Structure 1
Amino acid sequence: MPAPTPGNLYTDLSAYYDGFCHEVDYAGQADFLQRAFDCLGASGGRDYLDLACGTGQLLEVMQRKGFSVAGLDNSPQMLAATAQRCPQAALILSDLAAFEIDSRLDLISCLLYSVHYSHPVAALAETLRRAYRALKPGGLFIFDMVDKDGIQNRDAVTRLTRDGADFTFRSGWRHDGDSETLELQVAIRREDADGVRNWEDRHRMTAISRSGLDTLMRESGFTTTLLERDFTRLREWDGRSFNVLVVGQKPWDDHAATPDSVR
């Protein structure tokens, strides 16, 4: 077997990222965000930020829904692809726990479990604090998470044929059941007439329980609603599944004027 190719996997293969994610229903995610925002949001605007935006596929759909969009990612290659897809989007090159925006956003999302990239737990807490700071009163931060007690140590496999080559994309979480470190293992195999190349990458992510996340949300100032991770409808979490959609709202306080829609 050929040795893995050195270098950054997502840098080398960013042009193929959309293909690796072809099974992701970005339109369905956008519909869900719209419904949740209409039902639970109360900030009065439509300024939207997607954290870990990748190549901007979700941003593109949200822009068509009438939102003013911005995207954040720590990969310049991903943001370059986003700029081509959404030329009007404001783009931020930053880690999740380092962005600085003050009280001007109505909606923030971080889907595909990307909030777990904030590692360790202290970084996740900082990401939540910064999201809270970035929202207007009544604004929402919506993200998905998996309780560490429900992590399954198995791989998902996606296959893609592009540019005369066959790609196999394999990814999976590994967790020892105890620590706050969750490891994402990613491997990509490219086969064409010239032979085989392999890429491998490992990312440290944060493993946290749902109750632990509840504590962080409360300490950040959010009021929290938990929903089933079902993008087809708004459904309250039944208390049994390990994968949840978290809706955090920045409350109105005595110094903010409550809009007519929530009086």
Structure 2
Amino acid sequence: MQRPPFSALAGVYDAIMADIEYGDWAAFILEYARDVGLTPVSALDLACGTGALTAELESRGLSVQGLDFSPEMLEVARARLPGVSFVQADLRDFVLPGRFDLLTCVFDSLNNLTEPADLGRALSRMALHLKPGGLLAFDVNTRVGVRDLWEGEVMEGLAPMQGGREVHYHWSHHYDAPTQLGTVQAICRVDGEEFIELHTERGYDVADLEPLLRAAGFVSWEFCEYPDYAEPWPQSPRLWVFARAALHQVEE
């Protein structure tokens, strides 16, 4: 049965993604912040999913909130972090009270915004939710990264779940050159029950992101690679972006 993106997947997501280095990503982000003279106290984790990065930020002493479009993913996040506030909202038009020292949006979440205008809208919302001089940290798959997502175009395996169950997953990738969109067909099976989700991404390069960051109101930004902050090369499959809000901001 085909389901909307990030709906049925919520129940098996953490099992399949158990090896993702969220803790290292949190350390990477906070080390960058320290290196540019920032000590974040408050954070908003955007497209937070099941709350894995949210938990890492909270464990490092930040007052953190999470936001995601998927109610199913947020249900898992709330169970994981009952003391954290989570909000269901769209990245393109979210409005929250207050502003934050740090905004994060990881694991190529912004690639799901396949129209550049929608990405621009999301970046504008992010800029408005940062305190003066605050920091936005996100990663994106580049055009090359979306085109060449996995060697062999398939990811398959068995992952253990709580209670002794297992999820069998078979994810296949198709790249459509005319539209420059990549689509992952995610097939998952647990206890004989099977579901399918389709996830479509557009890749974004430095040349795509710079005008969008500028139009959104960010005053400076840096592109780098994980984990050593190296300058990206033309064929980099993934970029990390650190963007700073203006020191003096106009109220919305």
Shorter-chain TM-score category?
0.7 to 0.9
Closer/same/farther in 2, CA of residues 155 and 41 from structure 1, 3 Å limit: farther
The alpha-carbon deviation at position 238 of structure 1 amounts to 4.2
The alpha-carbon deviation at position 75 of structure 1 amounts to 1.6
Rounded to whole Å, the distance in 1 between the matches of 2:37 and 2:176 is 38
Is 1:33 matched with 2:29? yes
Give unpaired runs (5+ residues) of structure 1: 256-263
| Residue 225 of structure 2, aligned match among 225, 228, 233 | 228
Range moving further from structure 2, 205-214 or 91-100: 205-214
Is 1:160 matched with 2:156? no
1:64 equivalent in structure 2? 59
Q: Deviations over 1:136-174 (max 9, x none)?
A: 121111111122134215232342133454322233543
State the percentage of identical aligned residues.
26
Superposition RMSD in Å: 2.5
Q: Name the SS for the 2:176 alignment partner.
A: coil
What amino acid sits opposite 1:251 in the alignment? A
Does the Cα contact within 8 Å between 1:179 and 1:207 map onto a contact in 2? Answer: no
2:84 equivalent in structure 1? 89
Does the Cα contact within 8 Å between 2:68 and 2:74 map onto a contact in 1? Answer: yes
| Residue 135 of structure 2, aligned match among 133, 137, 140 | 140
| Residue 44 of structure 2, aligned match among 42, 49, 68 | 49
1:76 equivalent in structure 2? 71
Q: Deviations over 1:153-203 (max 9, x none)?
A: 52323421334543222335433234253323212133x4xxx33211112
Q: Name the SS for the 1:98 alignment partner.
A: coil
Closer/same/farther in 2, CA of residues 254 and 218 from structure 1, 3 Å limit: closer
Is 1:211 matched with 2:207? yes
2:174 equivalent in structure 1? 174
Number of corresponding residues: 245
1:258 equivalent in structure 2? none
2:19 equivalent in structure 1? 23
Does the Cα contact within 8 Å between 1:102 and 1:133 map onto a contact in 2? Answer: no
Closer/same/farther in 2, CA of residues 246 and 37 from structure 1, 3 Å limit: same
What amino acid sits opposite 1:161 in the alignment? P
| Residue 120 of structure 1, aligned match among 115, 118, 123 | 115
The alpha-carbon deviation at position 87 of structure 1 amounts to 2.0
Q: Name the SS for the 1:97 alignment partner.
A: coil
What amino acid sits opposite 1:157 in the alignment? E
Q: Deviations over 1:85-129 (max 9, x none)?
A: 222222110122121136611111111101112232211110111
Does the Cα contact within 8 Å between 1:180 and 1:208 map onto a contact in 2? Answer: no
Q: Name the SS for the 1:175 alignment partner.
A: strand
Does the Cα contact within 8 Å between 1:49 and 1:72 map onto a contact in 2? Answer: yes
1:199 equivalent in structure 2? 195
Q: Name the SS for the 1:205 alignment partner.
A: strand
Closer/same/farther in 2, CA of residues 161 and 41 from structure 1, 3 Å limit: same
Highest Rg: 1 or 2?
Answer: 1
Q: Name the SS for the 2:236 alignment partner.
A: coil
Closer/same/farther in 2, CA of residues 240 and 117 from structure 1, 3 Å limit: closer
The alpha-carbon deviation at position 19 of structure 1 amounts to 0.6
The alpha-carbon deviation at position 254 of structure 1 amounts to 8.5
The alpha-carbon deviation at position 15 of structure 1 amounts to 2.8
The alpha-carbon deviation at position 8 of structure 1 amounts to 4.4
**Given the two structures, how large is their TM-score scaled by the length of structure 1?**
0.82
Q: Deviations over 1:33-86 (max 9, x none)?
A: 2111212364x6411011111111111111111111111111222212212222
| Residue 247 of structure 2, aligned match among 222, 245, 252 | 252
Is 1:110 matched with 2:109? no
